[in-house]
Chain A
Amino acid sequence: MTTATGTRWARLGLARSGVGPLLALAVAGVAFSATTATFFTADNLSLLLDQSVVVGLLAVGQTLIILTGGIDLANGAIAVVGTIIMARHAPGQGAAVSLLAALTVCTALGTASGTLVARLRLPPFIVTLGMLAVVAASGRLYSQSRSYPVDAALLVVSGRQLPLGPIALSHGVLGLLLVYAALWYMLRQTAWGRHVYAIGGNQEAARLMGIPVNRTLLSVYAGAGLLYGLAAWAALGRIPNADANAYQTANLDSITAVVIGGTSLFGGRGGVMGTLLGTLLVSVLRSGLTQAGIDALYQDVGTGILVVAAVAVDQVARRGQK
C-alpha cells in the first residue's frame, strides 16, 4: 500500500461523519474511567446525559441551520426568553398555556431569522447576531431584571427521573434521544432532508434543480426555533428558575458541539448523530476533568483545542473529496 492510498483511506475514515467524535468519546471515557474512581458510575453517567440535554437540544437546531450553510448565534437567547415566558405566566395563565406561548414565541423568533435569511438573502451570521442582541435585551426588559422560580409540575417534568435498572434516565434525556432520532430520520429518509443537504452543498445549484430553497430554509429556521423552545422547557427541568443571565454562552456551546460532531461549517455535510456525540464529548470532558481535580480553565483549553482539531479534520476531509 502506498502512502497516497493510505492517506486516502484516512481521509475516507475521517470524512465519515461520527467516526472521529465517537473515537474521541471512547478515548476520553476510558481515560477518565481508568484515572478516577468516580467517573464511570451509573450515577455520574446519568448526570452526564442530564447535563447534555439543554445544549443538546440547542445544538440539534443549530445543526439543521449549519447544514444549510448558515449559523445561529441567537439560540441561547431565544431559549432564555422561552424560560422567562413559561415561568412568568405559569402562575396566572396556567402551565400548559404558558408552555404553548413560549414554544410559539421561540418558533416565531426562529421564523423571523429564517425570513430574513431566505427572503432578503441576508447573511445568517449578521441576521442572528442582530437577533441575539434584540432577543437578549428584550428578554431582560421583559423579565424586569428579576428571576422567576417555577413549581408547576408540567414545566419541570423533564427533570423527573425514570429508574431503568441501575441507572436513572430523566424525561429530558428520553426526549432528547427521541428528538435526535426523529431528526436523523427526517434528514436521511425524507425529501426535505435531501433538500437541506443540497442547499448547504450549493444553494444556487439547488435552486436550479427546482428545490424549494426559500421554503426549506424557512422550515429549517422555524423548526430550529421550536427546538430552542424545547430546550427552554428542558432548562426549567434542570433548574426550576428562569433567569435572564443564564445560558450566556449557550450559543457558542451549541456551535462547539456541532463542530466537534463533525458537521461542516460550510454546510452540506455532517448530521445530527455527530452533534449528539459532540455534545456528550463536551460534557464528558468537563465532568471527567473535574473528577480528576483539574482546574476549570484547563477544561476550556481542552474544549477549544477540540474545536480547532475538528475543523482541521473537516478541511482535510473536504480536500480529500475534491
Chain B
Amino acid sequence: MGGSQLLFTWPPFMARLALAAAVIAGVAGAAGACSRKAAPAPEARLRIGLVTKTETNPFFVKLREAAAERARQQGAELIALSGKFEGDNEGQVAAIENLIGKGVKGILVTPSNSSALVGAIKRARDKGILVTALDTPTEPPDAVDGTFATDNRQAGRLQGAWLKQALGGRAAKIVMLDGVPGGGTDTQRHQGFLAGFGIEENDQAIVGRAHVYGDQSKAHAAMENFLQAHPDVNVVYTINEQVARGAYAAIAARRATGAILIGSIDGACTGVSDVKAGKLGATVMQFPTRMAEQGIDAVVEYARTGRRPAGFIDTGVQLITDLPHPGLEARDTAFGLASCWG
C-alpha cells in the first residue's frame, strides 16, 4: 500500500523536475543553435529523407540500405522513415511532415497510395525541398520532381508474355492474385499482364481474381479455393514472389505442379531460388539499388546546382527464367542469383 501511495504522489514532482530539465536543456540547445548559426558552419551536412511503404518488405530494406550507403559515399545523412503497413497513408504523411521539420534538403518517397500523399508532398516542395518518388509514381505524376522506378506495366507485360509463350497453344485458364485494391503498382502490373498475355480485363480465360495484400497465407487460401472451383487452372499471375509462394503451396498440395505455370515479379533472392527450383516458371526482376542510388544522386545534384530531375526515369526490369522463349529477352537464374536483392 505504501508503495502505491508513493506512486501517486511522485509523478507530479517528477513531472515538474522533468519539465525544469527540459526547459534548461531547451534554452541551452537554442543558445547553442544560435551560436552555431553565428559562426558559419564549415560544412553543413546534407540531410536526405527516405519514406518507404513498410520497414519489413525486403525490397524496401534493400532500397534503404542502398540509399544509406550512397548517402554515406556522398557525405550526406539519410533519415529513413516508413509507413507501418502497405496502404498506411497517414503514417507516410506523418513521416513527410516529420522530415520537413528536420530540415532535409530532399525527400525520396515510395508512396503506398499514388494520390494520398500529394498534399504533404506539396507542403514539402513549397519549402524548397526536392521530393522524388521511388518505385511508385504519384498521381498526378508531376506532383513530384521526377520518379525513379520500375516500369511496372512492363514488368507485368513480361510476366504475361512469358506465361503466354510457355502455355503454347493450349486454352488458358487464368487465376490472378493481385495485391492491394487501388494500389498504383498493383494496377500497373495487372494491366501489363493483361497486355502481355493479349487479353482484356473481363476475358473468359480469367477464372479467378483475388486481392491477397502480399500475404502468403491469404494467397494460399485463395488459390486453394480457386483450384476447388476450377481444377483446370493452368496459369497463375502473381503480384509478387511472397504471393507466388503461397500459391505454389496450394498447387503442390494438389500435386498439380506440372500442369500449372506460375509467373511473378520482384527478383528477391528467395524468389529467384524458387525459379531455379522449378516452383515458379519465371520472375521479373526489378532493381531497388538503382532507384536508391539515382534518387540520392538527384538530391545531391539539387543541393549543389539547384537542378531538379523531371519525368519518369525507368530503372529497368529483367525477365529471369531457365526456360527462355524466342523473341523474349531473358537471363537465367545464375544471373538472377548474382544480382538478386533481399
Question: CB < 8 Å: which of A146, A159, A235 contacts B253?
Answer: A159
Is A247's CB within 8 Å of the partner chain B?
A: yes
A245 to B208 CA separation, bound complex (whole angstroms): 23
- Would you give the shortest CB distance from A253 to chain B, in whole angstroms? 10
Is A241's CB within 8 Å of the partner chain B?
A: yes
**Are A235 and B228 neighbours in the complex by a CB distance under 8 Å?**
no
User: Which residues 135-181 in A have Cβ within 8 Å of B in the complex?
Assistant: 140, 145-147, 149, 159
Is A98's CB within 8 Å of the partner chain B?
A: no
Contact with B along A12-40 (1 / 0, CB 8 A): 00000000000000000000000010110
Do A291 and B56 form a contact, CB below 8 Å, given A239-B216, A245-B215, A246-B216? no
Question: CB < 8 Å: which of A44, A145, A159, A295 contacts B56?
Answer: A145
**Are A248 and B85 neighbours in the complex by a CB distance under 8 Å?**
yes
A293 to B58 CA separation, bound complex (whole angstroms): 34
Contact with B along A42-83 (1 / 0, CB 8 A): 011001001100100000000000000000000000000000
* Interface size grouping (class) on chain A: 35 or more
Do A239 and B226 form a contact, CB below 8 Å, given A245-B56, A297-B181? no
Residue numbers in A under 8 Å from B85 (CB-CB): 248
> Most chain-A CB neighbours within 10 Å: which of B57, B61, B215?
B215
Residue numbers in B under 8 Å from A249 (CB-CB): 215
Question: CB < 8 Å: which of B211, B214, B224, B242 contacts A296?
Answer: B211
A58 to B216 CA separation, bound complex (whole angstroms): 18
Measured CB to CB, the nearest residue on chain A to B277 is A149
**Are A146 and B216 neighbours in the complex by a CB distance under 8 Å?**
no
Is A240's CB within 8 Å of the partner chain B?
A: yes
Do A245 and B216 form a contact, CB below 8 Å, given A145-B61, A291-B228? yes
A85 to B186 CA separation, bound complex (whole angstroms): 31
A244 to B342 CA separation, bound complex (whole angstroms): 14
**Are B220 and A238 neighbours in the complex by a CB distance under 8 Å?**
yes
Question: CB < 8 Å: which of A41, A238, A291 contacts B217?
Answer: A238
**Are B57 and A245 neighbours in the complex by a CB distance under 8 Å?**
yes
Is A314's CB within 8 Å of the partner chain B?
A: no
Residue numbers in A under 8 Å from B342 (CB-CB): 145-146
Is B116's CB within 8 Å of the partner chain A?
A: no
User: Which residues 212-228 in B have Cβ within 8 Å of A in the complex?
Assistant: 213-217, 220-222, 224-226, 228
Do A290 and B61 form a contact, CB below 8 Å, given A146-B270, A245-B216, A246-B217? no
- Would you give the shortest CB distance from A211 to chain B, in whole angstroms? 23
Residue numbers in A under 8 Å from B215 (CB-CB): 245-249
**Are B213 and A290 neighbours in the complex by a CB distance under 8 Å?**
no
- Would you give the shortest CB distance from B110 to chain A, in whole angstroms? 15
Residue numbers in B under 8 Å from A291 (CB-CB): 225, 228-229
Interface of B is mostly: helix
Residue numbers in B under 8 Å from A47 (CB-CB): 224-225, 228
**Are A248 and B213 neighbours in the complex by a CB distance under 8 Å?**
yes
Residue numbers in A under 8 Å from B220 (CB-CB): 238-239
Number of interface residues of B (CB under 8 A): 31
**Are A243 and B216 neighbours in the complex by a CB distance under 8 Å?**
yes
**Are B228 and A239 neighbours in the complex by a CB distance under 8 Å?**
no
A40 to B221 CA separation, bound complex (whole angstroms): 18
A238 to B217 CA separation, bound complex (whole angstroms): 9
Question: CB < 8 Å: which of B213, B217, B228 contacts A287?
Answer: B228
Residue numbers in B under 8 Å from A140 (CB-CB): 55-56
Residue numbers in B under 8 Å from A54 (CB-CB): 217
Is B210's CB within 8 Å of the partner chain A?
A: yes
**Are B56 and A244 neighbours in the complex by a CB distance under 8 Å?**
yes
Measured CB to CB, the nearest residue on chain A to B249 is A239
**Are A243 and B242 neighbours in the complex by a CB distance under 8 Å?**
yes
Question: CB < 8 Å: which of B214, B228, B270 contacts A44?
Answer: B228
Contact with B along A261-274 (1 / 0, CB 8 A): 00000000000000
Residue numbers in B under 8 Å from A145 (CB-CB): 55-58, 61, 342
A176 to B169 CA separation, bound complex (whole angstroms): 45
A51 to B213 CA separation, bound complex (whole angstroms): 18
11 pairs across A/B with beta carbons < 8 Å?
A: A41-B228, A54-B217, A140-B55, A145-B55, A238-B220, A241-B249, A245-B56, A246-B217, A286-B225, A296-B211, A297-B181
Which residues of B pack against A, CB within 8 Å? 55-58, 61, 85, 181, 208-211, 213-217, 220-222, 224-226, 228-229, 242, 245-246, 249, 253, 270, 342
If A241-B249, A248-B85, A287-B225 are given as contacts, then 20 extra A-B residue pairs at C-beta distance below 8 Å, sorted by A number, are A36-B229, A38-B228, A47-B228, A51-B221, A51-B224, A54-B217, A140-B55, A145-B58, A145-B342, A146-B270, A147-B270, A159-B253, A238-B220, A243-B216, A245-B56, A248-B213, A250-B217, A290-B229, A291-B228, A295-B209
